[in-house]
Chains A and B, each alone.
Chain A
């Protein structure tokens, strides 16, 4: 099941993550961790016209969690609440282009959860 998960694409995003960094005074922030593995992520978002204008993250974790954060933050730029709401496991796997075992899925989904929570917190204000 864990075959070929360290693809070129994943390793490229892991080594050079997109949108890595902080946004000072962001409109929304959310941090989360995976207590079992020690993966950590914090997401910062600025909005404009109810759409994601700018998104950044900082984190510490395995290649899968960091690559997932890199790809997802790119993917949701310019998107609205409805789009983010609909994102699920399959979208993340499609982005990553790999299949993951049950235990490893948590790593890939941590950034999605953090992005969703940051977006929800902004719109529930």
Chain B
């Protein structure tokens, strides 16, 4: 497989867990980091560390340039029109909170916010709370038995929606939603379309202009970058209308004792000292992904997912679409009468790392009438051989519980 040559770039994949070679199948929670990213962060702290946008000395100049270069890389990666539209935040959750709270002045009593029943809590609770605060209505588009969004229901409900908040790829069902169609309809209805890109941006080409997305949130740590750095993309005219969410230094232009004037974009939304090394690390991750090409990563994801659906599907119930092409690189599943915790614990004995629980999507699990699930998720460094090991270990789980 063409991705095989990249495995050596990930030092952690050499380690052993419980005496077995690590099989890391939890990239939907956080990805591993290639040496190129680790080196970029180390190099910043060893050679260029200083605060940005503040001082005239050489180190500050170098740090500022590196930080702003990372912003350029992010803008190019998602094809934003300008770097003014790229706000560095901590993670997807913070991005979506900034989106909802930043739009607070545009939402009035009885306005409708439309989201779906397959959202991660990060794309549910910010809207739920905004609706409560403004006495606005929160409505949902449901999904069908195969895990696809009910587009007829969406068409009916989108007409009077002020905001449409939807995930591009479900972190449990794996479903990739038709964002372009959704955004077109949202545009026709005059609604703002906010997309949770946590599971999509790391795994496929996401072009915000082509998809006509108004706002997009994603995390650096799920796309080979460090934790603590994420991105909120929003169209410039929207950001201009939006209110800052957190206040303090760096986000102001002029301050008196009684008032303050906000800084230009994107700085209006970046408060305090930013995660400079994080942004630089994310920039290095984007370089790495771009060099491999997102198309290739997507192909690899589909190939592994198809293999996993076929193999694991024989002994487990897998949730979501049956077609690998319609899914991101993950499978959430259950083995009859065995709690996902027990599955994960036994797999761990074999050095296999998967996630178990409700994956921050409790309403979705309630909707599936299950309390939890096990989830194996893939990235460029995973192989079919690892899925064989997963299957072997799952068979051992069944034996222990038989």
12 contacts between A and B (CB under 8 A): A3-B349, A5-B345, A6-B342, A6-B346, A37-B340, A37-B356, A38-B372, A61-B341, A62-B339, A62-B342, A62-B345, A63-B342
Are B357 and A38 touching (Cβ within 8 A)? yes
Within 8 A of B (CB), among A55-74: 60-65
Nearest A residue (CB) for B370 = A38
What B residues does A65 contact at CB under 8 A? 341
What B residues does A29 contact at CB under 8 A? none
User: B137: CB under 8 A from chain A?
Assistant: no
- Which one of A2, A62, A64, A107 lies within 8 Å of B349 (CB-CB)? A2
Within 8 A of B (CB), among A66-102: none
What A residues does B188 contact at CB under 8 A? none
Number of A-B contacts (CB under 8 A): 52
Are A2 and B357 touching (Cβ within 8 A)? no
User: B383: CB under 8 A from chain A?
Assistant: no
Nearest CB in chain A: distance from B339 CB, A: 4
Within 8 A of A (CB), among B343-390: 345-346, 348-349, 356-358, 362, 365, 371-372
Are A104 and B345 touching (Cβ within 8 A)? yes
B residues touching A (Cβ–Cβ < 8 Å)? Answer: 18, 339-342, 345-346, 348-349, 356-358, 362, 365, 371-372, 400-401
- Which one of A3, A11, A40, A62 lies within 8 Å of B341 (CB-CB)? A62
- Cα A17 to Cα B202 with chains together (Å): 44
- Cα A96 to Cα B352 with chains together (Å): 25
> Besides the contacts A3-B349, A36-B358, what 4 more A-B pairs have beta carbons closer than 8 Å?
A36-B357, A60-B371, A62-B339, A63-B401
What A residues does B356 contact at CB under 8 A? 37
Nearest CB in chain A: distance from B122 CB, A: 15
A2-B345 contact, Cβ under 8 Å, with A37-B372, A40-B371: yes
What B residues does A36 contact at CB under 8 A? 357-358
- Which one of A3, A5, A6 lies within 8 Å of B18 (CB-CB)? A3
- Cα A37 to Cα B339 with chains together (Å): 9
Nearest CB in chain A: distance from B373 CB, A: 9
Nearest B residue (CB) for A100 = B345
A63-B18 contact, Cβ under 8 Å, with A2-B345, A5-B345, A6-B400: no
Place the interface of chain A in its size category: 10 to 19
Nearest CB in chain B: distance from A122 CB, A: 28
- Cα A5 to Cα B401 with chains together (Å): 13
What B residues does A5 contact at CB under 8 A? 345
Are A38 and B371 touching (Cβ within 8 A)? yes
Nearest CB in chain A: distance from B375 CB, A: 13
Nearest CB in chain A: distance from B341 CB, A: 4
What A residues does B357 contact at CB under 8 A? 36-38
- Cα A35 to Cα B340 with chains together (Å): 14
What A residues does B18 contact at CB under 8 A? 2-3
**Candidate in B18, B339, B362, B401 with the most chain A CB atoms within 10 angstroms:** B339
- Cα A38 to Cα B341 with chains together (Å): 9
Nearest CB in chain A: distance from B346 CB, A: 7
- Cα A94 to Cα B285 with chains together (Å): 47
Are B339 and A63 touching (Cβ within 8 A)? yes
- Cα A11 to Cα B401 with chains together (Å): 8
Nearest CB in chain B: distance from A66 CB, A: 8
